A = this chain, B = another copy of it.
Amino acid sequence: MTAHKVITLNKIQIACKSCGLSNICLPLGLESDDIDRLDSIVQRNRPLRKGAHLFQTGDKFHSVFVVKTGAVKTYTQCPDGTEQVIGFHLPGEVIGLDGIELGKYICSAKALETSAICEIPFDRLEELTATIPNLQHQMFRLLSREISNDTSLMALLSKSTAEERLAAFLLSLSIRLHSRGFSATEFNLSMSRQEIGSYLGLALETVSRLFTHFQEEGILKVNRKYVEILDLEKLYGLLSHQTVCLEKLRAP
């Protein structure tokens, strides 16, 4: 029987209150009682294997998702087969918010590595937000942040050179990882050069060349997916005339 296995799985699942992400995630700023109410509607499914989909473009929208561990990419498929990466999502980040409007997901979400995910049925969430003002406010903030982040990225994509884009990308990763308790200066990229390129509007060859270039400059030490930032200052210096990014980079 598999019954026992399931119970075991449930036991290892972590409630919001004891989750290390509670200070960046949805429960931020909630009273203890309210966290419990939120907790009760959160579904914690089995971890998603690398390459598995959380949802796909056009699927009926029913839930938003929070990455607990691992990493997820969102992307859309172009008619010509190529994919356009929309975003990379680290622990504590919410996915699927863009599906609210039309009632269906407008992008696909795929695990870049084995990832634990919290699922929050949106109709249940809306019931809660209507009775918990702090939660409603937190949701508005979350959605607003998403918009600000997109704004920064748009500015990056429409103005900056390839060098600035990759520098901004690496710094964003560094900051986000650091605020989640990981090292700010060494980490493994869970995405390919191709995916970074798609996200930043660059060819994969350009991304590869830039990694080499940054290495020659003594800014990075790169080995395949493994990146060590040797000179954070210099990396920041590369995007010195980027208002938006510098202001917003700390956010996500």
Contact = CB atoms under 8 A, between A and B. Distances in A.
Interface string A3-32: 000000000000000000000000000000
Interface stretch (A48-56, A100-108, A112-120, A170-178): A100-108
B130 A126 contact: no
Contact of A157 (B141, B147, B158, B244): B158
Interface residues of A, number: 52
Interface in A137-165: 137, 139-148, 150-151, 153-155, 157-159
A248 B136 contact: no
Interface string A79-109: 1100010100000000001111110001100
A141 B159 CA distance: 29
Nearest to A137: B126
Nearest to A158: B201
A197 to B, nearest CB: 9
Contact of A147 (B79, B147, B155, B242): B147
B155 A154 contact: no
Given A106-B148, A150-B151, 13 more contacts: A79-B243, A84-B158, A100-B143, A101-B142, A101-B148, A130-B131, A130-B136, A143-B143, A143-B144, A150-B154, A153-B154, A154-B157, A158-B198
